[in-house]
Structure formats: C-alpha cells, structure tokens
Structure 1
Amino acid sequence: MYTIGQFSKIGKVSTKTLRYYDQIDLLKPVYVDHENQYRYYSDQQVLLILLILELKEYGLKLEEIKVILDQQNVELLKEFLINKIQDIDIEVEKNLKLRNSIDMKLSKIKSGGKLMETNDLKVELKEREPIMVISRRAMTRMENVSVIIGKVFEDMYRMNLQPSGPVMTVYYDKEFDAENTDLEVCIPVNNKVNVEKSDKLKVFKGGLTAYTKFVGPYSRLGEAYAKVMKWIEDNGYKNSGEPYDIYLTGPGATSNPDEFVTEVYFPVTK
C-alpha cells in the first residue's frame, strides 16, 4: 500500500486534492488508520487516479467522472466524450473566425489603415409596410443567434412556407446583455398565409422608421446604432418601438465580414 504522500507523487496531485476526492466519494483510500487517521492507497487505485486525471484533462467535470466510475459505464463515458468533442469543435470554429478577423485587421493596418475607422453613414426616414413573418422569441446568448435563425427556418420549411425577404432580428432589451439577450428572429413569408395557422406566424407592424445601411462586421454595428440614435435626437423624433436589423448580406453569402450588409431600423414618431 501507499501512504497519501506517496500516492500524491504517483498521481501528481496534492494531498489536499486526494482528501477532497475522499470527501466527495470519488476516490477513497482502501484503509484509514483509526489511531492517526493516515490514509493508504492500493496498487489497483494507481490506474484509477490516472484515469481520473486523464478525464479531467479532457475537460470532464468531477461529477461526470464520479457517475462514470460509480456505474462503470463505458457508454456514458463515450457520450460525455462525444459532447466534449462537439464543444471543442465549436470553440475551434470561433477561434478560426477570430483568427480570420485578426488577419484582415492586420492587412488593413499594413495597407495604411487607421487605428479607428469610420463609415460614412446616411440616416433616412422610411415608411415600412406591415409584413407577414414567421418568428421565434428567445432569451439567449448573442453568439447563439444563428441557432435561433436555424430553428425559424426549420419551422418555416416544416409548414411548407418560403421566405419572401431577408432575416430580421428584433431586440427588446433596454440595456445590452450578451449573455442573456431578449430577441426575436423574424423571416418574412408569403402575405397570403393565414396568421391563425400557427402561433409562430404574426404580422410585423409597419410604420415610420429612421434607418441606415451599414457595411461591415456585426461587431461594429454599434456605430450604426449610435448614428441613428443621434439623428433621431437631433431631428426632433422619438423612439416608438424596438430597434431591429435586416441582414441583406451575411455569412451565407460571403465569408468576409467586411462585406456584410445590414440595415438598422428604429421605429419613430415626431
């Protein structure tokens, strides 16, 4: 048998960690001396501590590891590992997009780009007609907007409908919260559709709006929002509803965020 000190060297974990594993019933010593409370571990537990450390390196939580070991369930381990691979793939995709954005920023700098670039944005008034849309409203992370958009398209095709315009996103929050955003994704559909056919169908009301067209990555849309908000204030108008974006050109049409084209609308009254 090994003392807790010896076992900590074998597993390259602290004795404090081993005591914690004992406390949560993840890895208990095979013997505890009742007189001095010394803990002792067996040869068989060497492979066990090494497996625990391996699964931790894969990113599994201690609770997950405990369930796997308690049940000796290989299928459950496989499920956890598949989920972890999916998480890694999502993270890799995010990092690749980030790398691409950094590369483009470097290219602009090397070609004489400024530290802070500005767009020549023109704000105009536009009267919008009511349109029929299929929609979903959700509280979600901003990075999950594409998932909501995908679900709306699934709803639309399930109902044998076709889009009649670009995707729109309405923002209901008074303050920005990237982790918990209240938004609604809308896709225009045929106006002849019966709105009572589904609770996912609605009439998106029209009315007077102040809007601008922004060309560039979504991360810089705040510039368009600021421009429209200032125009509203300077010209004596008032906000009369939630702002919304219409994505004329997005990731589905180009891989270059600098080529994204988005219209930003604010409903207004005089």
Structure 2
Amino acid sequence: MKNKFSIGQMSKLHNIPVKTLRYYDEIDLFKPIEVNPENGYRYYSIEQFKLLDIINYLKVLGVPLADIKKQTSNRDINELIDTLQEHKRITEQKIQELEMAKKKLEARIDEFKTAKYIEDINVPFIKTIPERKIIQLKETISSFFELELSLRKLKQQYHHLASIFIGKVGLTISENNFQRESFLEYSSIFLILEEVERSKLIEEIDFAILPQGTYACIFFRGGHSDAPAYFHVLNDFIKENDYKIKGDFIIRTIIDEFISKNQEEFLAEIQVLIE
C-alpha cells in the first residue's frame, strides 16, 4: 500500500492527533479516501497532504472550521480573500484587547509596587495631581450595603467601558458632611478611568473630571471605618497651613483584605483639592 496511509501514520506525519482526524472525518472536512468495511480502518493518500496542509494553515490563523470547510469545498479565491480579510479584522481587534490588558496590568503592578514602599504613612502631605477622568454616580451612601449596590449600578451603566478593581474605586464626601464630621456618609461613588479606557469614551459618554491641581493628602493603614481619625489629621494640617478647601474630599482603598492577608499592608488614601 505505497499510496495508502493509516490514520496513525497521518497523525505522525502531520503532527495531528488521531482524534482530530476522526473529527475532521465526522464533519466532512477531511475524509479518508478509503474505509475498510470490515474493521473501519481509515486510509489516506499522498494527494491529500496538500489539502491537510491548507486546513492546518487556516486553522492556525484562527479561521473557524466551518469557514475552512466552506473554502475547501468551494475553492473560490474571492471567498478566501473575504474570509482572510474578516479574520484579519478579528485578529487586529484581539491585539487591541491584549494591548489594553497589558497596559492595565502595568498600571496595577506600578501602583501596588509603589503602595508597598510608601514610608510617610499617617503624615499629611501636598502633591500635584493631573486631571483624572471618572465615571460617577451621585447618591447618598452611608453603609457598606449601599456602597456595593451603588457600585453595581455604576458598573451596569458602564459595563462595556470600565472594569471594577480596587484602587480605581473612589468615594466623595461633601465639604458640608466633612464640616459636620459625617465621615462615613458619602455623596458619590466613582471609577477612575485608565488611559486605555479613556480612549474609548471620547465619543460615547460625558464623563466627570477630578481637576488637576494641588491636593492635600494622607495615606493610612486601614479601610473606610478607620478613616475618621485621619480626616481630623488632614483637617488640622489644612488649617495649620492656611489652605482653602476647594471641593469634595476623596477617599479610595488601595490595598484591602482581598489583596493581602496582612493587615499591616492595608492602605487607603484621602485627598482634597486646595489652594
């Protein structure tokens, strides 16, 4: 049987699993030239090698088997061009998605590395922060239950645009609530948009902005329930230096129990725009 190859031989010659060749037969994509009626053994010819090469090539390019079957059946050059152009478009879209994922990973890695080595914990300081674009939901939030529900509302509204991750979620406290020392009553919740997300929003929605400017800030170990003491520390710092508050206070958690089991690594930050 000089020009007959068993399914096992085809598998070794083309580095394709036997079960894959059987499946190709079942879906009429690549059928043997002969099947022994007594034992069901499949046999292929050398003339089929080129066809299998084409199938493998298109499969590696990500072309679905249904499209490959259509092409190998019709053998129409125009259909092949259309198919390849469509999968080129799909591939380019996947590349963009992977680039976006890479940039998000880089941003999270940089923030966590920085957070691990912050030395001035519990000490107020001044820093200039560039403009930040956010998507925001303005409503009163006074419990963890309400916080999570509000966050889900925000996510449902913009689910295709931004992802929820610790460090990106912030809460605002109005100056009025701050003066009343209602430090656990928030006036809004927001998601900070990363650069790769902002690029998608230009023509899609009206986002809010945290303005560029000078901010009085404080890092502390803990979460929202620990924040009141640090609001006082920050307020004393603002008064001592004759700064004027220009907007809502912002609080965001950077590291919590879902990121680290070590409570000594928990980190949150309070910010407020000043002049």
Q: TM-score, normalised by structure 1?
A: 0.48
Computing the radius of gyration from Cα coordinates, the structure with the larger value is: 2
Q: TM-score, normalised by structure 2?
A: 0.47
